[in-house]
Amino acid sequence: MADGGPGGGLTVSPVSSPRPVRLGPRSVAALALISAIGVAFFGWPLLADERSGVVAHAEDAPWLFALLLPLLVAVVVATIADTGMGAKAVAMLGVLAAVGAAMRPLGAGTAGLEPMFFLMVLAGRVLGPGFGFVLGSVTMFASALLTGGVGPWLPFQMLAMGWFTMGAGLLPGAERLRGRAETLMLAGYGALAAFAYGTVMNLQGWTIVPGMATGISFQPGEPLQDNLVRFFAYVAATSLGWDLGRAVLTVVLTLTVGPAVLALLRRATRRAAFEAQVTFEGGDGGAAGEPPHRAPRAYEESS
């Protein structure tokens, strides 16, 4: 839209689907790298050969990973921010992270009911995978400070929640799919991702409690198939009920209040106009002392 006139003016070109963060090559490379390292950190018990040196330090490895992972997550967040996260995006990140952190204590400790997961799904869908990864990691960190959940597991939670939220931003049909079909897709993703989150976090904690029970504890150096059987037995015995509660609550909230929250988030991104292009068109410059042109109020209010 242009603020016309004989002396030229200001042209503002909004985009149809604003995203606070557009992933460039550096951001994509950083996300791919941290994801690959994260898979290794989570899955090393199943991937390590029996002759590997890490097997000899099975109880120490998770603590070493817990020290390294925050640095890697911080590098990725800094890279994404450096490639296009402006002041508006930072402000929205702060608001959503604060809301998500405040929602976590509402259900923590009660059958796995964690309402923050549904907000992460919807925010990742609207705001995209790059913003979603940063939001998931920051929200989990903030909620841990709020609930006193700081420990060696926190970096793994931050990475897993970053994946969880980023995955919602990678779902298809972001430009076209709306209405009931989109809500059902998000509910289905939320249910599957809730189980996946619990499973990968169990994999992180599984190695810290060796010898808990012969049939379900991690046995360093044992064949992959044997440890997989023990691991899934461990999941079924310790957390399947919690994961089910998380999945059910995510589905219920997505189907009931999800459409309203999606509309609110999309309206907020339109008003923020993250990617509006502002250019000045040439002309005689107007009279001396004339204030510079600005976008018409009608555009500001509709954005």
Cβ within 8 Å of residue 227, ≥6 positions away: 45, 46, 218, 219
Q: Residue 85: give the domain boundaries.
A: 22-272
Strand partners, 2: 11
Q: What is the SS3 assignment for 279? A: strand
pLDDT interval class at 75 (50, 70, 90): low
Q: Global pTM?
A: 0.73
pLDDT tens digit sequence for 214-231: 678 777 777 778 888 888
Question: With 80 as the cut, is the pLDDT of residue 259 above it?
Answer: yes
Give the residue with greater pLDDT, 62 vs 287: 62
CA–CA separation, 14 and 274 (whole Å): 9
Cα separation values, 104 from 119, 120, 164, 191, Å: 10, 11, 15, 17
pLDDT at 111: 56
Cα separation values, 232 from 201, 216, 222, 229, Å: 13, 8, 15, 5
pLDDT interval class at 112 (50, 70, 90): low
pLDDT at 255: 95
pLDDT at 248: 92
CA–CA separation, 213 and 278 (whole Å): 64
Range name among 83-97, 148-162, 178-192 with the lowest pLDDT average: 83-97
Judge whether 11 lies within some domain. no
- Please tell me the total count of domains within the chain: 1
> Mean pLDDT throughout 269-297?
53
Judge whether 169 lies within some domain. yes
Question: With 80 as the cut, is the pLDDT of residue 171 above it?
Answer: yes
CA–CA separation, 84 and 90 (whole Å): 10
Share of the chain above pLDDT 90, in %: 18
pLDDT at 224: 79
Question: With 70 as the cut, is the pLDDT of residue 276 above it?
Answer: no
Give the residue with greater pLDDT, 31 vs 244: 244
Judge whether 237 lies within some domain. yes
Averaged pLDDT score across all residues of the chain? 74
Judge whether 258 lies within some domain. yes
Label the pairing between strands 277-280 and 10-13. antiparallel
Terminal-to-terminal C-alpha distance of the chain: 12
Judge whether 206 lies within some domain. yes
Q: Of 192, 167, 170, 206, which Cα lies nearest the Cα of 246?
A: 192
Q: Of 85, 86, 103, which Cα lies nearest the Cα of 142?
A: 103
pLDDT tens digit sequence for 174-215: 778 888 999 999 999 999 999 999 888 888 777 766 555 567
Q: Of 40, 68, 38, which Cα lies nearest the Cα of 54?
A: 40
Judge whether 88 lies within some domain. yes
Judge whether 16 lies within some domain. no
Judge whether 147 lies within some domain. yes
> Mean pLDDT throughout 72-82?
65
pLDDT interval class at 297 (50, 70, 90): very low
Question: With 60 as the cut, is the pLDDT of residue 47 above it?
Answer: yes
Lookup result for tokens 């006139």: 5
> Mean pLDDT throughout 231-238?
86
> Mean pLDDT throughout 115-134?
90
> For residues 96 and 119, is the Cβ–Cβ distance under 8 A?
yes
Give the CA count within 13 Å in the CB-facing half-sphere of 127. Answer: 31
> Mean pLDDT throughout 247-267?
93
Q: Of 122, 139, 130, which Cα lies nearest the Cα of 89?
A: 130
> Mean pLDDT throughout 227-248?
86
> For residues 146 and 140, is the Cβ–Cβ distance under 8 A?
no
pLDDT at 48: 63
- Give the domain CATH number at 168: 1.10.1760.20
